[in-house]
Amino acid sequence: MEATPLLDRSSDKFHLIGENGDYLPINGIKEWWRVFCIETVKLWRIGGPIVFQVLCQYGTYSVTNMFVGHLGDIELSAFSITLSVICTFSFGLLFGMGSALETLCGQAFGAGQVHMLGIYMQRSIIILLATCVLLLPIYVFATPILKLLGQENDIANHAGVYTLLVIPQLFSLAVSFPAQKFLQAQSKVAVLAWISFLVLVSQVFLCWLFIQIFGWGTTGAAAALDLASWIMALAQFGYVVGWCKDGWTGFSWFAFRDLWAFVRLSFESAIMLCLEVWYMMSIVVLAGHLDDAITAVGSLSICTSIDGWESMAFMGVNAAISVRVSNELGLGHPRATKYSVYVTVFQSLLIGILCMIIILATRNYLGIIYTNSETMIRAVARLSALLGVTMLLNSVQPVISGVAIGGGWQALVAYINLGCYYIFGLPLGYVLGYVGNLGVMGLWGGMIAGVGLQTLLLLLVLYKTNWNKEVEQTTERMRKWGGQDIMEKSHSYQIPSKNVKP
């Protein structure tokens, strides 16, 4: 297997690397500092482009919200419900299921079994397309569902129309997510960054053209989002098929083999991430029951949109540390895995503190880019303290989730998320918001407590992890969840190896 920037240790100048490629035991502050510098370079060499890519991808949604926000408060609230509730529901489920590839592709690439990556990607696309079909009733019946959840009629009626218009965007995710994970596992992240940047620029142009020039309003915003999403999906998949000859060996019927084992891992990944994504989504839903729901939902949607920028950035770090952990486990390097995790968590915490300071310093101006309403801007300013704390906690939590994906601990983290979020945080937020009459502040404050508890428990899991045991379990995990046995039996006559020219 060719060396990658993430795994190459040929430039070890400080005699920190053993003969097997793993770090030697470290003693002393100087050695720790050298490891810190080495791991920082390795992380951000892959993490930087991924963060940029995810921010650009999130920017396509945020730009759409910005254009719609200047059409009126009711349009902003309704379109925000569409994006932050319905689309976030499907995004979380599909992203979570696609994240199974981070475990399997990353570990397979680290172990030198590059021929499996294309099979894994095709399996994931099949499963995600089937999931999109199952999600269609939620999109079709969005209006009655939102009314059942307590949204005001005006908001629910408008949101139902917008939801129907973004159905094409739903199916684009079934192609886009697997292609992203395929490329990320091989550290081919620069192309993802360029594609996402060009799509973001296209989205700004399309929103301006459809909304400002053609005057299509929210219909134009939905059309622009659909087009931009499919441009991204087709560009990523086209690059995989056209330029990734190592991992992509063509379409294969083996993609339909052992689907159930792959579904199980995909489902565990989905539950773990969905419990996180849906948790914040539920705040917006609960806010729809408050007095002056339009202002409550609108201001909270603006805050979650701002928080989303940081969350998306850390989803990039999440993907980077996931690739880092899975690659190193596949190579059999427990110390490199452990040190990379510690360095990433520490740096993420520092970034979270910086983000919180920026939010508190600019609290009176946060809402201006989303709305012209003075009432909405003041409401956002009142929520800024909770937004700052949320961003601090969200700087650590996604990183640990990425470690869990890379190590294959999805089921354990899913149980932790379920208990902290839905048994503790959500009920506490409801009591503070409604019984304690604290409104949005109470809802959000209680749910922040759930995030804090979850972060503490995940840090404890990291502290207790035996990385030597994780390395031992990696090969068995790949066989159990990826259908590896069948591929090994057929590999000699079905698929050329990486080092053999067809």
Contact 184, 244 (CB under 8 A): no
Confidence category of residue 151, pLDDT binned at 50, 70, 90: confident
For the ranges 293-302, 304-313, 362-371, 378-387, the lowest mean pLDDT is seen at: 293-302
The residue ranking higher by pLDDT, 3 or 195, is 195
Q: What's the rounded Cα separation, in Å, for the pair 10 and 42?
A: 13
Angstrom distance (rounded) from CA 106 to CA 312: 21
Torsion on CA atoms 497, 46, 191, 484, rounded to nearest 10: 30
Of the pLDDT bands very low, low, confident and very high (cuts 50, 70, 90), residue 293 is low
CB neighbourhood size of 495 (10 A): 18
Q: How far is CA 113 from the centre of its chain?
A: 25
What the block records as the tokens of 210 is 């459809």
Which residues, at least 6 apart from 333, have a Cβ–Cβ distance to it below 8 Å? 20, 21, 22, 23, 471
> Could you tell me how many residues make up the chain?
502
Phi-psi region of 25 (alpha: psi -120 to 50; beta: other; left: phi over 0): beta
Predicted TM-score (pTM) of this structure: 0.73
Tokens of 439: 């409104």
Name which of 268, 264, 286, 273 is nearest 417 in CA terms. Answer: 273
Cβ atoms of 288 and 304 closer than 8 Å:
no
Query: What radius of gyration do the chain's Cα atoms show?
Result: 23
* 3-class secondary-structure state, position 369: coil
CA–CA gap between residue 411 and residue 111 (Å, rounded): 23
Mind listing the pLDDT tens digit for each residue in 114-138? 777 888 888 889 889 999 999 999 9
User: Does residue 142 or residue 319 have the better pLDDT?
Assistant: 142
Contacts of 315 (CB under 8 A, 6+ apart): 54, 398
Query: What burial letters (b/e) apply to 226-257, b meaning 16+ CB within 10 Å?
Result: bbbbbbbbebbbebbeeebebbbbeebebbeb
* The CA-based dihedral angle spanning residues 317, 322, 327, 330, taken in that order and rounded to the nearest 10 degrees: 170
3-state secondary structure of 447: helix
- Cα torsion through 372, 376, 378, 381, rounded to 10: -100
Q: How far is the C-alpha of 501 from the C-alpha of 478, rounded, in Å?
A: 26
Contacts of 296 (CB under 8 A, 6+ apart): 287, 288, 290, 379, 439, 440
DSSP lists the bridge partners of residue 100 as none
Write out the H or E segment, with its range, that includes residue 60.
helix 29-69
- For 32-62, the pLDDT digits (tens) are 899 899 889 888 888 889 889 888 888 888 8
Average pLDDT, the chain: 81
Highest mean pLDDT among 143-152, 350-359, 375-384 belongs to: 350-359
